[in-house]
A and B are shown apart, each in its own frame.
Chain A
Amino acid sequence: MTDLVDVRRGLYRDSVSLMQVSRSLQQVPGVSAALVAMATELNLDMLATMGFPVPEGAGPNDLIVAVRADDDAQAAALAALDAALARPAPGTGSPGPSGPSGPSTEAPARTLGAAAGRSGANIALISVPGRYAFLEATDALEAGLSVLVFSDGVPVAQEIRLKDAATARDLLVMGPDCGTAIIAGVGLGFANVVRPGPVGIVAASGTGAQQLCCLLDAAGVGVSHVLGVGGGDLSAEVAGRSTLRALAALDADPATEVVLLVSKPPAPEVAERIRAAVAGMATPVVLGLLGRGQPDLSAVAVEVLRSVGTLPAGGPEWPEWPAPVAQQPRSGALRGLFCGGTLCDEAMIVASARLGRIWSNIPLEPGWALPRDLRAPGHLMIDFGDDRLTAGRPHPMIDPSLRTERLMAEAEDPETAVLLLDVVLGHGAHPDPAGELAPATRAARTTAGTAGRDLAVVVSLIGSDGDPQGRDGQAMALRDAGAHVFTSNADAGRHATALVSGDQP
């Protein structure tokens, strides 16, 4: 064991880097103590405390090096010291490839407020779990952003608070549980690529709005904006807070010639407020209120075409791709497996008019509710996009695996005669739903065929020519797998219903 004390005159390093040098020396095997420091009075005292001899004449501008090490470790210690001291003093090094304040070093923002401040954003898109959505949405509103809350499961008191805060700041809250919006040509959430045009849509139903956009687009009519307001906006509690603001904004929008409001029938007192608001608007309004006894979405689309003066004589023909082998009436059960809640609802309304009871997880009547295992004899339709089936997993428009599983199970069921499926295209949706559903359709029909049954598959395809997945390619892939493909969900529902009700479709 030897003590080595050395003074390096005029060599300056700041105390922080010297602490690091001392530490690296202490870590050399065989070194029991080390101090590398400027020779200040304090450090010289410390040197003495550590039992080293204090060198004469060393001052605060001199570096002292003191190492206590096994004799055979001395060389390694001195090498480590030289290596550590050879590094540039802090602050003299190069700032790195991106420059001293290069943007590449900036970590992503951790809150929406911070992100808004960085980017000058005017819209916040929130899809965090529902119990946190209020926090981010509040932050975004305070930063001056309108907000689309894609998340579901937001408590209604929080929804009301958000919408009142938005009103106070002249902003819009779309949602919670808002699946779609198109603003100035940009699709947010699940949105189809449709042409610009005169129709402004306010939608409390995401897939309902998507169906209407696609039907209008197929008829050559575009939309100005689609403002989702969330499924609960027209409830008695929320009282149309966002709907009223969206209607007023579209009324003031020069690009919007006709306003279409798509919703389930609102609570009666809310309906009164909406009627009063509509009466005060300069822009004509078409009401698409979804429910039993109301016109279906395709009929609403016709009404919109009429109001913009583009309804062809004899009505529009919605594109469809009949199955390669014409589907024939048969006995058995109609089984509908849906991703879109409104599409499921509309299909049930269409079907139950002929078939009566349809079991469902979103039943038309309380007595028609499916049990938890979602199994029942007879006609049934399941909305796989329902909150209870999406908790902790992606929406079936993104990940259809749960529905595909059920499709295969239905093929095994001798009672299943007709399968009714929706496929939703557009931004945000699965990149190639037919790529998954066509083989499944083929397999399901083979399974049934092996058991001596002909399984009819009917598809409601919600998409446009411009969608990234390509509507026609998707349609043909599904048709080639044996399905009859419709672009009108109501037509698909009617066709499927006719197949099991003994009528010639």
Chain B
Amino acid sequence: MTEPLHGLLNRDPVVAAAGADLLADALADQAVPVERVDWRPPPAGTEEALARVMGDPRRSIANATALGLVLAVSPHLVDVRPASEALGLEPGTFLHAGPPIDWERASGPLRGALIGAMVLEGLAESPEQAEAALAAGREITLEPCHGRAAVGPMAGVISPSMWVFEVADGDRRAYCSLNEGLGKVLRYGAYGPDVIERLRWMSAVLGPLLQTVVRRHDPIDLGAIITQMLQMGDEGHNRNRAGTLLWLREVLPALIDSGAATTDVAEAVRFVAGNDHFFLNLGMPACKLALDAGRDVPGSTVVVAMARNGTDFGIQVSGTGDAWFTGPAQVPDGLFLGAYGPEDANPDIGDSAITETAGIGGFAMAAAPAIVRFVGGEVADALAATRLMYEITLAEHPSYQVPILSFRGTPTGIDVTKVVRTGILPQINTGMAGKVAGTGQVGAGLVNPPAECFTAALTALADAAPPL
């Protein structure tokens, strides 16, 4: 016969205590092991919604289901194609990062990127003409990348002639643009002639070349690269150096053997090797592919997307379908390039927070000691940052591990209820775009979502939960 109450009466108690210290002290006085909770009340007014969602009998199983689906995804790079073909983008349709937004409310870097994309697509002859057309809005459609199984870093603008990576697991697909490099680039809102010229080269030379290579190659296991890069000092958002080199190593023989002009091959290799963030645009769709598998599980409180459009920060939650819960995007706190300062920075922008949503990036800060200056300067701060994220997540990733934490799996699966209960907001590592269209990158640093995204999601989850 099994012992009733899981053997409660037959073993020496070990206690976890939340509340009055005195009661925990009384246990310590009896030499009983006590784990004390640093408990703090959730924000006023959230008690009822929290109780309803915590009391939702579906929640625990729904979260296990959603996370099981997310963690079972094995992302592979299978193709490189023009966005028109891969995403069915029509001329005049532009995808952008973050929740839906119109031109009126779009921030400088998003406007800059849209202007550049108009010029790239030949829909405008000059930036001024592009801006006027975008402001008029006729025959122009703006849609979030997330709505088409895609993600884009920073402004995240994808137009029909741009090429995209196609990442797959079985029938699932996720897409992302090719990374342009750093500094004055479209995704940071720059749209000068050099930016457009680089994009044209990417569509004319780089994209087709990578297509040839990827199609000749077996599907490239991006999950395996992410696993390895985390053990080589990358966290997968602000540092992708090892990942980029691992990926390049994987495709290099096929590139050399592609039959393309050696000057093109050399240029492509130089471009990829010279851009430490090239792998970001492969890690992001890998994360997107996994998280999309966890969508639409009724009762689940798992966050499946965090994304910013430079004006609003938005999240999507498994149990609430395609609804976005938004709040004002914050200005990151960080380090600035050259003479730029906080007053030059645009509020948070980009779909790249999909990495944190999937448990890497800022959540794996402890894996990237080389960039600890972002979190206060010491390795201990990076460890603390990652450890804190376990407080708001439901699982530890079985493959993505942090060596310095004894290969503990990264904190994965942000739980809306845990965020609201603890007041701990997800930590996001991010680049910073100049707020004036055309500026480009001004720095990099740390940012959090606004808390109201999570309280709004909680309210929607409570409305969908059965009454207590």
Contacts and interface: CB of A to CB of B under 8 A. Distances in A.
Interface of A: 14, 16-17, 19-20, 22-23, 26, 33-35, 37, 42-43, 45-47, 49-50, 90-91, 93, 95-96, 100-101, 105-112, 114-116, 118-129, 131-132, 134-136, 138-140, 142, 144-146, 150-151, 157-158, 161, 170-172, 183-184, 186-189, 191, 224-225, 245, 248-250, 252-253, 255, 394, 398, 427-428, 468
B15 A188 contact: yes
Most buried by A among B9, B11, B42, B404: B9
Interface residues of B, number: 81
Task: In the A-B complex, list the 10 residue pairs whose CB atoms are closest, starting with the nearest.
Answer: A127-B19, A19-B335, A119-B35, A108-B38, A42-B183, A121-B16, A115-B16, A427-B26, A91-B369, A115-B35
Most buried by A among B3, B55, B424: B55
Interface stretch (B196-204, B251-259, B355-363, B379-387): B379-387
Contacts of A128: 18-19, 39, 41
A250 B388 CA distance: 40
A119 B17 CA distance: 11
B391 interface: yes
B373 interface: yes
B138 interface: no
A170 B298 CA distance: 26
29 contacts: A14-B371, A16-B335, A19-B334, A23-B336, A37-B338, A45-B183, A91-B370, A100-B383, A107-B384, A108-B36, A108-B38, A110-B39, A111-B37, A111-B422, A112-B16, A125-B17, A126-B19, A134-B51, A135-B42, A138-B54, A150-B20, A161-B468, A171-B6, A188-B27, A245-B5, A248-B4, A398-B22, A428-B22, A428-B26
B373 A110 contact: no
Contact of B18 (A22, A37, A115, A225): A115
Nearest to B41: A132
Interface in B1-52: 1, 3-20, 22-24, 26-27, 29-30, 32-33, 35-42, 47, 50-51
A35 B339 CA distance: 7
B260 interface: no
B11 A184 contact: yes
Most buried by B among A109, A125, A126: A125
A91 B372 contact: yes
Most buried by B among A17, A100, A111, A145: A111
Nearest to B20: A127
B405 interface: yes
B182 interface: yes
Given A16-B370, A428-B22, A122 B11 contact: yes
B421 interface: yes
Contacts of A253: 9-10
Contacts of A16: 238, 335, 370-371, 373-374, 444
A481 B432 CA distance: 73
A187 B26 contact: yes
A96 B15 contact: no
Given A20-B377, A45-B184, A142-B60, 14 more contacts: A22-B338, A105-B383, A106-B387, A109-B37, A109-B391, A111-B391, A112-B18, A122-B7, A122-B14, A127-B23, A129-B41, A136-B37, A151-B19, A191-B26
A224 to B, nearest CB: 8
Contacts of B29: 427, 468
Given A33-B339, A90-B371, A125-B15, A170 B39 contact: no
A184 B15 contact: no
Given A100-B404, A106-B387, A110-B39, A183 B9 contact: yes
Contacts of B334: 19
For the residues of A in contact with B, the DSSP-based class is mixed
Contacts, number: 259
Contact of B8 (A50, A100, A123): A123
B336 A19 contact: yes
A189 B32 CA distance: 13
B294 interface: no
A134 B33 contact: no
A394 B55 CA distance: 28
A144 B9 contact: no
B23 A428 contact: yes
A112 B14 CA distance: 13
Contacts of B9: 183-184, 224-225, 249-250, 253, 255
B383 A170 contact: no
Interface in B441-468: 443-444, 468
B369 A90 contact: yes
A111 B392 CA distance: 9
A100 B379 contact: yes
Contacts of A248: 4
A160 to B, nearest CB: 9
A119 B9 CA distance: 18
B406 interface: yes
Contacts of B184: 42, 45
Nearest to A252: B4
A428 B19 CA distance: 13
Nearest to B372: A90
Interface in B144-187: 181-184
Contacts of A114: 37, 390-391
Contacts of A132: 41-42, 47
B370 A90 contact: yes
A179 to B, nearest CB: 10
Given A90-B369, A90-B373, A135-B54, A120 B14 contact: yes
Contacts of B37: 108-112, 114-115, 136
Given A16-B374, A114-B390, A125 B47 contact: no
A17 B33 CA distance: 42
Contact of A20 (B12, B22, B373): B373
A142 B417 CA distance: 14
B51 A158 contact: yes
Contacts of A120: 14
A122 B384 CA distance: 26
Nearest to A250: B9
A129 B32 CA distance: 24
Contacts of B335: 16, 19-20, 22-23
Given A16-B373, A105-B384, A151-B19, A121 B47 contact: no
B14 A121 contact: yes
B378 interface: yes
B164 to A, nearest CB: 24
Contact of B47 (A35, A112, A131, A139): A131
Contacts of A157: 468
B16 A91 contact: no
A293 to B, nearest CB: 34
A158 B467 CA distance: 11
